[in-house]
Structure 1
Amino acid sequence: MVSVYPSLTHALAEGLVGALWFIEGSEDDQMDPDDAVKVLEGAAHLFSQLSGDQRQELIDLLRGMAEAESDPARREFLEGFPAGFGLVEDAS
């Protein structure tokens, strides 16, 4: 079987981003809001522990994922991911 992902890092990023996208878009009856916030904040904390090179690698992966994404809502999530999860300084 041939993987559709060029690297393990890419596959793991896809999985993590997919889970975080689901959590962020969940309604209160799908997931407890407090639990959702804990998971999202936990992910942001994990990203804050990355080295500069690791952050840049993830940002580059996210950019490529966004460019390849056909779902406009998911593309928007991917484009906002670096700022939303503290990988870059928010320009606003």
Structure 2
Amino acid sequence: MDESPRLVTQLLKAVVAYTWFFETCDETVLEDRAALKQLEYVGYLLNQLSDADKQRVADELAALAAGEADPAYREFVETFAFGMGLVEPEDS
């Protein structure tokens, strides 16, 4: 299968958008434990990637964040790789 940068970008946008939903929805929409379980599962799946792929995801996220107009969502995208355990903190 040939690599498709647009495919990777669109899939990453979908993962981030659904993760944002689980992170921000309140318990009237989805029970907190169910949301947390889904967030943990996303982190688990992403951590199955190779180090090179984790770095690629982090790079893609930086590009997505740079183009994001909503400040709250931009911050979420900027911190997504760290929050999912894909990268170490900048100062370590």
- TM-score calculated relative to the size of structure 2: 0.89
* Root mean square deviation of aligned Cα: 1.6
The question of whether the paired residues in 1 share the 8 Å contact of 2:43 and 2:84 is answered with yes
The 5 A counterparts of 1:51-66 are: 51-66=50-65
| Identical columns (%) | 39
**What residue in structure 1 maps to residue 77 of structure 2?**
78
The 5 A counterparts of 1:1-92 are: 7-90=6-89, 91=91
Paired residue type of 2:29: Q
Q: Could you tell me how far 1:28 is from its partner in structure 2?
A: 0.9
Moved over 4 A (4+): none
Q: What are the superposed Cα offsets for residues 34-55 of structure 1, whole Å, 9 maximum, x if unpaired?
A: 1101100001101111001110
SS at match of 2:26: coil
Structure 1 unmatched ranges of 5 or more: 1-5
Q: Could you tell me how far 1:14 is from its partner in structure 2?
A: 0.4
Q: Could you tell me how far 1:81 is from its partner in structure 2?
A: 0.5
SS at match of 1:36: helix
**What residue in structure 2 maps to residue 3 of structure 1?**
none
> Quick one: distance in 1 between partners of 2:88 and 2:63?
20
- TM-score calculated relative to the size of structure 1: 0.89
> Quick one: distance in 2 between partners of 1:58 and 1:89?
14
